[in-house]
Amino acid sequence: MRISGSRPRSVVGLIGFPLGHTISPAFQQAAFDYHSLPTVYEAWQTPPDGLTAALGRVRQPDCLGMNVTIPHKEAILPLLDSVDEWARQIGAVNTVVNDGGRLHGHNTDATGFLRALREPGAFEVSGKRVVLVGAGGVARAVVLTLARECAASLAIANRSVARAEALAVLARSAGLPAEVIDISDESGLGAAIGAADLLVNATSVGMWHAAPGSPVAAAHLHDRLFVHDLIYNPVETVLLREAERAGARTLNGLSMLVFQGAAAFELWTSRRAPVGLMMARAVDALARAQAESGEGDG
Ligand code: NAP
């Protein structure tokens, strides 16, 4: 809701393609309104050849910055004036801040992932054995966070083994002992999960309109495990349902989405993000998006 009778004096964009029924505008706008800031948060559907034009828009004085999602997170790096060290290591930018026409890139996915585990999850990574399924874009942020937070060990399972190998090299270079498992190697995956404290799903298996089912056989799940599925649409994936049945503690990806958004809000505004309100709006918006067409962002 805008301040009555006033026109917005600033804007923040979200670029991606396709954006579908993105829920970011709903919870970001709630944060601007909470602080009575005259800012609108808009979804700017931006195909790959529209990235340069979008950057021109963000440099305008009325634009605080933008969020960046697939397919621009990696391509945008060389086009920015600066990229912080953490985003450079991850190799992806999801938040851009406009500082007087100079564009600075950040990555708040790692912050979102860690804060979700710590706060609603009440799970500490330090000293824990982790299995990560998936080795795509978000998995890099997960691996570097696990290394920084001193996880004890990491096993990476992915359909494309070469991608998992590259991620394992990154983990080891950051000081985290890492091994690779072919996702179709059931006995290897079962043994790794059997010994693990934390299982993270960073594949799109189980996501609405993507591959159905679970990336992991239900038989591998157990009650000493914490399962963090980064998917939030649907809020309860097959993996989470089966994990609950096995007695594991579980967390879906909605907290990570809201916490990465909260960190971005704080970068644009230097105000504290009202995360409880943002979460409530995210839940409502997701329910609406699912009712309308069953799509979301991420
Ligand atoms: P991405 O770069 O496209 O990676 C997709 C991953 O899923 C790859 O590891 C891919 O394996 C795997 N995969 C896809 N289809 C598969 C199938 N049929 N069987 C087995 N593996 C399959 O995507 P991303 O950006 O990393 O996102 C991954 C997931 O994280 C998505 O579900 C997304 O919604 C979620 N996410 C959540 C948040 C959040 O804030 N909660 C933020 C970002 C992403 P290959 O390498 O073999 O292709």
CB 230 within 8 A of CB 200: yes
| Closest C-alpha among 187, 169, 191 to residue 179 | 169
- The pTM assigned to this predicted structure is 0.94
Distance CA 204, CA 183 (A): 14
pLDDT digits (tens, 9 = 90+) for 155-165: 999 999 999 99
Residues lining ligand 1, judged by CB closer than 6 Å?
70, 109, 112, 134-139, 158-160, 163, 202-205, 207, 211, 215, 230-232, 253, 256-257, 260, 298
Q: Report the C-alpha gap between 284 and 89 in whole angstroms.
A: 34
What's the half-sphere exposure (Cβ side, CA atoms, 13 Å) at 181?
22
Q: Which atom of ligand 1 is nearest to the CA of 257?
A: 40
| Residue 128 among the catalytic residues | no
Catalytic member of 21, 72, 73, 140: 73
Which pLDDT belongs to residue 6? 59
| Ligand 1 atom closest to Cα of residue 232 | 41
Residue nearest (by alpha carbon) to ligand 1 atom 18: 211
> DSSP character for 98?
E
**Token output for 108:** 């708040």
Q: Which helix (H) or strand (E) holds 41?
A: strand 39-45
Q: Give CA–CA dist 175/151, Å, rounded.
A: 10
pLDDT at 293: 67
Per residue of the chain (298 residues), what is the pLDDT tens digit?
444 555 669 999 999 999 877 899 999 999 999 999 999 999 999 999 999 999 999 999 999 999 999 999 999 999 999 999 999 999 999 999 999 999 999 999 999 999 999 999 999 999 999 999 999 989 999 999 999 999 999 999 999 999 999 999 999 999 999 999 999 999 999 999 999 999 999 999 988 777 889 999 999 999 999 999 999 999 999 999 999 999 999 999 999 999 999 999 999 999 999 999 999 999 999 998 888 865 544 4
